[in-house]
Chains A and B, each alone.
Chain A
Amino acid sequence: MLEIIFLLFGYSMMFFGALGVIRFPDVYTRLHAATKCDTGGAMGIVFGLALMADAPIIVKAKLLILLMFIAMINPMISHAIAKGAYRYGVKPKVEVDMYAWDNP
């Protein structure tokens, strides 16, 4: 029962992440949707599979290690994409931009 809840949470978060990628206006806000919803959705799905799998405990530990790597690597990639987009010259649609004040 519990793993069904985790799997449904993961699938719905993936759906809302895709919806956010379509609806948000520029690169940085789209990265918000992509990073957080992908991390939460993938972690929910993998954790549900780790609960559901009929396997010895050490294989489940492997799935938990995979979950930790997802949570570590996904923010780094989003940070690299955001900084690369800013260096390339994509202007954000924002109200205040302190990064442009300090790096003219």
Chain B
Amino acid sequence: MTRVPLYLRSRIEEVRKRFTYELYESQKLPDWERFAITWIVLMVFWLIITSDLTLQGLALGLPATGIVAYFMRDFLTDDIRHSKHLVGKLLYFALLYLPQYFIIMAFRLLESNIKVAKHALLGDIRPGIVKIKTDLHSDTGVTILANSITLTPGTLTLDVVKKLDGTYLYVHWIDVQTLNPDKAGEIIKGDVEEWLKKVFW
């Protein structure tokens, strides 16, 4: 790579950027699927918030959430990976993916609470700010990953920087064990990233 002339290197960068963009464009969902997913999610939210299961509530809620879902269809579902049929996707998401993720995060939150209580009682902290790399690119995926890192034991996300070869996270770690980025990433991220890579890209 050192002997490549300058114009060729810029050309390679341009081709790689266009390849990433086309990959992103080909993995987008079709228009009506995004509309349907947003509508179903908003309808469930409406039913729980109003707590009104009569015919009048349904007749008021269906068009209202439909109008909102038509305008807001890009916000929620822009980053979902294009994989299967709509019904299979929704069933997989609601029955398998979400409960497993919630149970994993609940136990990690319990562990982190006990760890912070132990640190507050004993005072044995050795803080530091380390840098780790993830393979996720989309905004929603990186947001959920950063929130999960904040809730896991002993870590707090400070900043996110997007580069071309991946996304880098700066993490404030209350008890630094290693400075190697790969090992630190394995310890900090755990299996949350594998979970997020199944749905977001």
Residues of A within 8 A of B (CB): 12-13, 16-17, 19-20, 23-25, 28-29, 31-33, 35-37, 39-41, 43, 56, 58-59, 61-62, 65, 71-72, 75-76, 78-79, 82-83, 86, 92-100, 102
Judge whether B129 and A92 touch: CB under 8 Å.
yes
Judge whether B120 and A33 touch: CB under 8 Å.
yes
CA distance A65 to B105 in the complex (A): 16
- How many B residues have CB within 8 A of the partner chain? 38
List, sorted by A's number, 30 A–B pairs whose CB atoms are closer than 8 Å: A13-B113, A16-B120, A16-B121, A17-B116, A19-B121, A24-B119, A29-B125, A32-B172, A36-B109, A36-B112, A37-B116, A37-B117, A39-B109, A41-B113, A56-B51, A58-B51, A59-B51, A62-B51, A65-B45, A75-B151, A76-B147, A79-B158, A82-B156, A83-B159, A95-B128, A95-B176, A96-B128, A98-B129, A98-B131, A98-B170
Judge whether A37 and B113 touch: CB under 8 Å.
yes
Q: Is B69 an interface residue (CB 8 A)?
A: no
Interface string of B39-56 (1 = CB under 8 A from A): 000000100110101000
Inter-chain contacts of B154 with A (CB < 8 A): 32
Q: Is B127 an interface residue (CB 8 A)?
A: yes
Residue of A whose beta carbon sits closest to that of B110 = A40
CA distance A94 to B129 in the complex (A): 7
Judge whether B158 and A36 touch: CB under 8 Å.
no
Number of A-B contacts (CB under 8 A): 127
Q: Is B188 an interface residue (CB 8 A)?
A: no
